Homo-oligomer: A and B are copies of this chain.
Amino acid sequence: MQTTVFPQPPADKTLLEQGSVFSPRFDTNGLITVVVTDAGDDMVLMVAHMNAEALALTMETGIAHYWSRSRASLWKKGETSGNLQHVAEIRTDCDQDALWLKVKVAGHDATCHTGKRSCFYRTVESGVDGIGLKNDGSEALFDSSTVYPAKR
């Protein structure tokens, strides 16, 4: 169903970095890294990957699609939970090997499969006992055992 075709990145670094042609640099696995933030307050919600088909579908539908590396399949984020991501803006970085999506999350306003708003719910803390993770106190916005029963 993909109709959008992305051009090959130019060999000229100045064109790549300063030009107006969008030529995403997919890696050797055909993937590009995507940072996803909330369009409202810029909270980092997740880091994911897209292949060309996922990126094209995202641009054509306005709903974020990714490539699930663990399932090796196209992934319409929120299809099961209802937490679809409506894309407000897409940016790319200087050398076009990363994307930044600003999204509005539907449903429970939760992005993480654990039910939390963001996947980044733990801080890395150094203390006298070494390095540990500390939960930031964010609560699950849906019951993951109900939404994803097959995962239990």
Contact = CB atoms under 8 A, between A and B. Distances in A.
A59 B126 contact: yes
A7 B152 CA distance: 26
Query: Which of the four size classes fits the interface of chain A?
Result: 35 or more
Given A22-B131, A37-B44, A132-B21, A114 B94 contact: yes
Contact of A90 (B20, B93, B123): B123
Q: How many copies does the complex hold?
A: 2
A92 B124 contact: yes
B44 A133 contact: no
Contacts of A100: 44, 120
A19 B37 CA distance: 24
A91 B17 contact: no
Contacts of A43: 42
Given A100-B120, A122-B92, A124-B92, A134 B33 contact: no
19 contacts: A4-B131, A20-B132, A20-B135, A22-B124, A22-B131, A22-B132, A22-B133, A35-B44, A42-B42, A42-B44, A46-B93, A91-B120, A91-B122, A91-B123, A91-B124, A91-B136, A92-B122, A92-B133, A94-B113
Interface of A: 4, 6, 17-22, 33, 35, 37, 41-44, 46-47, 59, 89-94, 98-100, 112-114, 116, 119-124, 126, 131-136
